[in-house]
Amino acid sequence: MALVQCPVCNKRISSKAPQCPHCSTSSAGDNESALRIAQIKKSQRLMNQSFITMTLFIGGVVVLFWGGEEPEGVRLTAGAVLLTLGFVGYLVTRVQMVINKRKSV
């Protein structure tokens, strides 16, 4: 008996178990379709994260540059934080998407 990863939830289960106790996926069934479904779910989650981080970035640009006058104080800080979080988050998410896509091929 060895511990293996469930193809759907990636938790460790016994190789002798008829189904995963965490997500109830049958280990005797078609694991390829379960793996594909898990891959699609992860891809969707990453695309949602990408959308959220892009929204943060755009929000930072709007806060910093809306109105034409030089931002000061809280407006400057909030805009810079939103801009930075959005940009870095977007880059990290895009790298994760590329890695995820390479795993599926």
Number of domains present in the structure of the chain: 1
Res. 1 pLDDT band, cuts 50 70 90: low
pLDDT on residue 31: 66
pLDDT score at 30: 60
Helix (H, G, I), strand (E, B) or coil at 2: coil
Its domain, for residue 79, covers 41-105
35 within domain boundaries: no
List b or e across 75-88, with b for residues whose CB sees 16 or more CB atoms inside 10 angstroms.
eeeebeebbeebbe
| Per-residue confidence (pLDDT) for residue 24, from 0 to 100 | 77
pLDDT of residue 10: 76
| Whether pLDDT at 29 is above 60 | no
Residue range 42-83, pLDDT digits in tens: 899 999 999 999 999 999 999 999 888 888 899 999 999 999
Is residue 6 domain-resident?
Answer: no
Q: Extract the tokens encoding 64.
A: 């910093």
What span, in angstroms and rounded, lies between the C-alpha atoms of 93 and 97?
6
d(CA 75, CA 95): 30
User: Is residue 61 situated within a structural domain?
Assistant: yes
Q: Which helix (H) or strand (E) holds 75?
A: helix 73-104
Rg (CA), the chain: 21
The answer to whether position 57 is within a domain reads yes
8, 24 Cβ separation under 8 angstroms: no
Amino acid at 4: V
Place 28 in a pLDDT band, splitting at 50, 70 and 90. low
Q: What pTM does this model have?
A: 0.70
Asked whether residue 36 is assigned to any structural domain, the reply reads: no
